[in-house]
Chain A
Amino acid sequence: MSQYNVIGTRAPRVDAPDKATGRAVFVDDMKMPGMLFGALLQSPYAHARIRGIDVSAAKRLPGVKAVVTAKEAGLVRFGVSPARYDETLFCSDKVRHVGDNVAAVAAVDLETAMEAVSLIKVDYEELPAVFTIEEALADGAPLVHEEYPRNICAEVHQEFGDVEAAFKECDLIKTSSLTSKLQNCAFLEPQACIAFYDHWGSLTLYTSTQTPHYVQRTVAMVLGLPVGKVRVVKPYTGGGFGAKASASHLELAACLLSMKAGKPVKMRFDREQVFWHGRSRHQFFHTMTTGVKKDGTILALKNECYLNGGAYCSFGIATVYYAGSLLGGPYKLPNMKYDGYRLYTNLPASGAQRGHGGVIARSCWEQQLDMIAEELGMDPIELRLKNVMTAGDVTCNDLNMSSLGMKEAIEVVRDASDWNNKKGKLPKGKGIGMACGFFVSGAGYPIYRSDTYHCTVVVKLAEDGGTAVVYTASAEIGQGSDTTFAMIAAEALGVPLEMVRVESGDTDFGVDLGAYSSRQTLMTGQATKEAAEDAKRQVLEVLSKELNIPVEDMDIKNGLVVFKNTKPDFTALRTRYQKEHRGWIDNPGAEEELSFREASRIAYLARGTIVGTGKYRPPELGGKFKGAAVGTSPAYGCSAQVAEVSVDEGTGKITVEKMVDAHDCGRAINRTSVEGQMQGSISMALGEALFEEVKFDDKGRILNADLAEYKIPTILDMPKVDARIVESNEPNGPFGAKEVGEGNIVPTIAAILNAVYDAIGVRIHELPLTPERVYLALQEYKNKSKTKS
């Protein structure tokens, strides 16, 4: 029997009934009286000087209520990391990618707004552009931002231990590389928002975002409003995965247009604009060298990485750090050297996407570990088990594995996949492969340097006593966080789940850094637990006074007050409660235990509204070196995965037939939701492994800015995912919980790469594994073997 009543169950999600019936309201479903529609003018050129903008014809069009350019917006710079605020709401001097933002219009309807946009005349002078890493770094290359020589947006150089010295001790040193392609988060709901600026000078922004808090700060900063007068509200949001984790031009433009027009303004991206906005996974070029002893002990890793960043920095500084720091575990690795470079190019900006910065690095390394295992004549699982970290280990870059079920996860997938009977024993064309990974449970530091709490939560007990309302500014974006916090509050308060209501995603409810870096379960969860416990303590204090029993001798469980010693006579309290509810049909019967509902009403009568508060800020984490902040976290989730594939050697087509997945999420708050995150992240990684790639023509225009040509997995592409939850008890997490949303995407690509090798004997070092690429690799391999023999 679990010690918990709510935690660890498969409770249906609190938002599921509304979503199953079409009642759940997303931004685009909302209307406001007098609402105008906005549209953006975006650049047709990848790189061009703006010589002039003429908006007069647009302004004259009947129905147009406001036209704004950099002149109206001003030139306040913003971005994600304050160290690289390199964007303005509208371009003034030049445009830096196709789709860069030049102007916006608000009109009585969308058609008029779009027509007005088409009437704005921009005098562009096209400039030479750079699209690839090589072009960006070439001598005399055009600069995307004049203040960044050689187009280097950020570079990282770190060394822990002494890699060259360690290589001298190694019996085997292996070098390999992996190249990936630009991704798109491809959530189903395109970004949309409604901004409304009122006569009191308050701005309310309803928006599809992962991070209401950061959007609030950015809007206030860029538009020069007091933060307290900007309220950001996130209705239901149709996925984010990273690209909705910062303020967008869409949001800022809607706010500015509403300020100018004095009416609510709705704006949305169409699917093509979702691609132009980008802010998804970068394109990575990793080269790694690993040294090991004969017995498989890993001694050193040298990692070099180039990231094609696009026109702006976005999350890029964090990305380039993560691409190094997230290799510190989950294997004991005493020496690690990393050199990372993020380049500006004239493509849409890349940012963060599920598994931020760690996915391609991990894919490259786990494929290399497989190559090493083969050369050593070791089973890949044996190699990993030999080096695996356990709870309490600290990586060479100071990441503390306060709990780590890595070894257990490996064993679970080994057994569940029947690895020992399959590895190397499957018929030709079929293969099995495995890989591991780990990820932060929330970034240890906010995006802007600050001592802010990462979240504050209020649990208010309804004055009638029967319901607890959780107020949090955290973001339910589909992952199930509202349900998680309802469950945590119910458990901590000692009431059934039905007695809890969650109100979330509103900056008026407090501070919450939002849904990114897999942070909310641990961080907002801790604050929710603290707030619920605070409310419960206040109720028990009042009871203690009324009944003359010490607080420690009482508890609340399952909605009832538990007296640890003798049960007191509480008839007087009950009578008071019943008197106030005369005529109500659900009053407690004489024989019943004292209920939470009665106790919390009595508490209200004694003290006024009972409000519990909670907050969370991670303790000081990590080392003192430059960049130590990226990768530190109060806890780390980890997973092991086994993929089984078949490869059609005639066409090069890969089918992933089965995935076995074990993830250590600490204590699972909601088991169904944990499995859902595991299965969902595998589908995103499978798409990235097999077919996802944003393609460009030689002018920097996207060739496949739609969901037909940018193919994400359909239900026919997905194999059965055998999701196994490995629980550990994370000391820093609420009820022992940590992350699952992002960490589980990390091993998938490498597991598939390794399975493909097992099937056809060819290593492929470029993603995605399209039939063409696989077929050509096979041909090349066959030709080589022919010339050899």
Chain B
Amino acid sequence: MKKIIRLTVNNEEHQLAVEPNQTLLDMLRDQLGLTGAKKGCEMGECGACTVIMDGITVNSCLVLAMQANGKRITTIEGLETEQGLHPIQKAFIEKGAIQCGFCTSGMILSAKVLLDKNPKPTEEEIRSALSGNLCRCTGYQKIVEAVQSVSEDDVGPARQES
């Protein structure tokens, strides 16, 4: 039996009918067409499905759509504003932190939550904040460098939403 839920995704309000066993990941991908969150394992092991829910990162494959009722969700598609790409997105592009791109959405969102709370993290803090996001391509070094390159000032404007 489908249930109606209400939630805010990337600053837009939605009312959706979802199955009780439907994951937030499937809801985002199939019902809202937000395919930036990826299915790497569907078991909470890889972080490719990472989204931000009420300010913290979650593996959306482990969250039921119904649990997102009343929540604010930010996906990778919500980071770009009229001013352009988010500074973390720019940094990932410029520093070569993206190869196949399958981990990228999750990486960027995990980095965003970290920088929102802690704009000047140490390398250790960066590594620990991204430790739930697997990447098989990059060896992580350019990802760390990209996050490091985003300075406190750069993060400013994008920090308000979510």
Query: What does the 1/0 interface line of A235-246 toward B look like (CB < 8 Å)?
Result: 011110100000
Q: List 9 A-B contacts (CB under 8 A).
A: A17-B89, A22-B77, A28-B38, A185-B136, A188-B136, A238-B101, A478-B102, A683-B138, A714-B134
Partner of B35, one of A19, A25, A190: A25
Let me know if B100 and A238 touch, CB within 8 A.
Answer: yes
A-chain residues with CB within 8 Å of residue B96 when the two chains form the complex:
10, 12-13, 672-673, 675-676
- Comparing B1-9, B62-70, B140-148, B152-160, the segment that makes contact with chain A is B140-148
Given contacts A17-B85, A676-B138, A720-B141, contact A715 B102 (CB under 8 A): no
Query: What does the 1/0 interface line of B79-112 toward A look like (CB < 8 Å)?
Result: 1100001000110111110111111110010000
Let me know if A24 and B101 touch, CB within 8 A.
Answer: yes
Let me know if B99 and A676 touch, CB within 8 A.
Answer: yes
**Smallest distance from the beta carbon of A595 to chain B beta carbons, Å?**
28
Given contacts A22-B36, A478-B101, A480-B99, contact A712 B134 (CB under 8 A): yes
Q: Complex: how many Å from CA A318 to CA B134?
A: 30
Let me know if B131 and A716 touch, CB within 8 A.
Answer: yes
Partner of B43, one of A13, A478, A706, A718: A706
Q: Complex: how many Å from CA A17 to CA B92?
A: 9
Asked if B17 is at the interface of the complex by the 8 Å CB criterion, the answer is: no
**Smallest distance from the beta carbon of A703 to chain B beta carbons, Å?**
15
Of B76, B80, B89, B104, which is in contact with the most chain A CB atoms at under 10 Å from its CB? B104
Interface residues of B (CB under 8 A from A): 29, 34-43, 45-46, 48, 75-77, 79-80, 85, 89-90, 92-96, 98-105, 108, 127-128, 130-131, 133-144
Q: Taking chain B's interface residues, is the majority helix, strand, or loop, or is none over half, making it mixed? A: loop
Let me know if B139 and A190 touch, CB within 8 A.
Answer: no
Nearest A residue to B103 by beta-carbon distance? A188
Let me know if B89 and A708 touch, CB within 8 A.
Answer: no
B-chain residues with CB within 8 Å of residue A675 when the two chains form the complex:
96, 142
Q: Complex: how many Å from CA A680 to CA B96?
A: 12
Let me know if A680 and B93 touch, CB within 8 A.
Answer: no
**Smallest distance from the beta carbon of A379 to chain B beta carbons, Å?**
28
Asked if A187 is at the interface of the complex by the 8 Å CB criterion, the answer is: yes
Which positions 660-686 of chain A face chain B at CB distance < 8 Å?
672-673, 675-676, 678-684
Q: Complex: how many Å from CA A20 to CA B93?
A: 7
Of B39, B76, B94, B136, which is in contact with the most chain A CB atoms at under 10 Å from its CB? B136
Let me know if B130 and A715 touch, CB within 8 A.
Answer: yes
**Smallest distance from the beta carbon of A477 to chain B beta carbons, Å?**
6
Let me know if A271 and B41 touch, CB within 8 A.
Answer: yes
Given contacts A22-B35, A713-B140, 11 further A-B contacts (CB under 8 A): A12-B94, A12-B96, A21-B85, A185-B136, A188-B134, A188-B137, A237-B100, A239-B137, A271-B45, A673-B96, A715-B135
Q: Complex: how many Å from CA A423 to CA B105?
A: 42
Partner of A721, one of B103, B105, B135, B141: B141
Nearest A residue to B46 by beta-carbon distance? A707
**Smallest distance from the beta carbon of B101 to chain A beta carbons, Å?**
3
Partner of A187, one of B98, B100, B140: B100
Asked if A147 is at the interface of the complex by the 8 Å CB criterion, the answer is: no
Q: Complex: how many Å from CA A724 to CA B80?
A: 34
Task: Give the number of A-B contacts (CB < 8 Å).
Answer: 172
Of A185, A706, A715, which is in contact with the most chain B CB atoms at under 10 Å from its CB? A715
Of B98, B101, B128, B143, which is in contact with the most chain A CB atoms at under 10 Å from its CB? B101
B-chain residues with CB within 8 Å of residue A26 when the two chains form the complex:
35, 38, 102
Let me know if A715 and B38 touch, CB within 8 A.
Answer: no
**Smallest distance from the beta carbon of A29 to chain B beta carbons, Å?**
4
Asked if A648 is at the interface of the complex by the 8 Å CB criterion, the answer is: no
Interface size, A (range): 35 or more
Q: Complex: how many Å from CA A675 to CA B46?
A: 24
Interface residues of A (CB under 8 A from B): 10, 12-13, 15-26, 28-29, 185-190, 236-239, 241, 270-271, 477-480, 672-673, 675-676, 678-684, 706-708, 712-716, 718, 720-721
B-chain residues with CB within 8 Å of residue A716 when the two chains form the complex:
127-128, 131
Q: Complex: how many Å from CA A238 to CA B98?
A: 11
Nearest A residue to B143 by beta-carbon distance? A715
**Smallest distance from the beta carbon of B50 to chain A beta carbons, Å?**
11
Let me know if A16 and B98 touch, CB within 8 A.
Answer: yes
Let me know if B76 and A718 touch, CB within 8 A.
Answer: no
B-chain residues with CB within 8 Å of residue A480 when the two chains form the complex:
99
Partner of B89, one of A20, A237, A672, A713: A20
B-chain residues with CB within 8 Å of residue A15 when the two chains form the complex:
98, 101
Let me know if B144 and A477 touch, CB within 8 A.
Answer: no
Nearest B residue to A24 by beta-carbon distance? B101
A-chain residues with CB within 8 Å of residue B128 when the two chains form the complex:
716
Nearest A residue to B37 by beta-carbon distance? A22
Let me know if A19 and B39 touch, CB within 8 A.
Answer: no
A-chain residues with CB within 8 Å of residue B137 when the two chains form the complex:
188, 239, 478-479, 676, 680
B-chain residues with CB within 8 Å of residue A707 when the two chains form the complex:
40-41, 43, 45-46, 134
**Smallest distance from the beta carbon of B162 to chain A beta carbons, Å?**
15
Partner of B98, one of A19, A29, A706: A19
Partner of A271, one of B43, B127, B143: B43
Given contacts A19-B98, A479-B99, contact A714 B131 (CB under 8 A): yes
Q: Complex: how many Å from CA A461 to CA B33?
A: 35
A-chain residues with CB within 8 Å of residue B48 when the two chains form the complex:
188
Let me know if A29 and B35 touch, CB within 8 A.
Answer: yes
Q: Complex: how many Å from CA A187 to CA B138?
A: 11
Q: Complex: how many Å from CA A567 to CA B92?
A: 44
Question: A-B pairs with the 9 shortest C-beta distances?
Answer: A22-B36, A478-B100, A19-B101, A238-B102, A679-B139, A22-B76, A672-B96, A683-B139, A29-B35
Given contacts A271-B40, A718-B140, A721-B141, contact A188 B89 (CB under 8 A): no
Nearest B residue to A686 by beta-carbon distance? B139
Nearest A residue to B100 by beta-carbon distance? A478
Let me know if A21 and B80 touch, CB within 8 A.
Answer: yes
Let me know if B108 and A20 touch, CB within 8 A.
Answer: yes
Nearest B residue to A671 by beta-carbon distance? B96
**Smallest distance from the beta carbon of B152 to chain A beta carbons, Å?**
21
Q: Complex: how many Å from CA A271 to CA B102?
A: 14
Q: Complex: how many Å from CA A186 to CA B137?
A: 10
Let me know if A680 and B131 touch, CB within 8 A.
Answer: no
Q: Complex: how many Å from CA A15 to CA B89?
A: 13
B-chain residues with CB within 8 Å of residue A29 when the two chains form the complex:
29, 35
B-chain residues with CB within 8 Å of residue A185 when the two chains form the complex:
136
Q: Complex: how many Å from CA A22 to CA B136?
A: 18
Of B41, B45, B90, B96, which is in contact with the most chain A CB atoms at under 10 Å from its CB? B96
B-chain residues with CB within 8 Å of residue A28 when the two chains form the complex:
35, 38-39
Let me know if A715 and B140 touch, CB within 8 A.
Answer: yes
Partner of B75, one of A22, A682, A715, A718: A22
Q: Complex: how many Å from CA A715 to CA B145?
A: 12
Let me know if B36 and A190 touch, CB within 8 A.
Answer: no
B-chain residues with CB within 8 Å of residue A682 when the two chains form the complex:
139
B-chain residues with CB within 8 Å of residue A21 when the two chains form the complex:
36, 76-77, 79-80, 85, 89
A-chain residues with CB within 8 Å of residue B79 when the two chains form the complex:
21
Let me know if A676 and B142 touch, CB within 8 A.
Answer: yes
Let me know if A16 and B100 touch, CB within 8 A.
Answer: no
B-chain residues with CB within 8 Å of residue A186 when the two chains form the complex:
136
B-chain residues with CB within 8 Å of residue A190 when the two chains form the complex:
39-40
Q: Complex: how many Å from CA A185 to CA B100?
A: 14
Nearest A residue to B91 by beta-carbon distance? A20
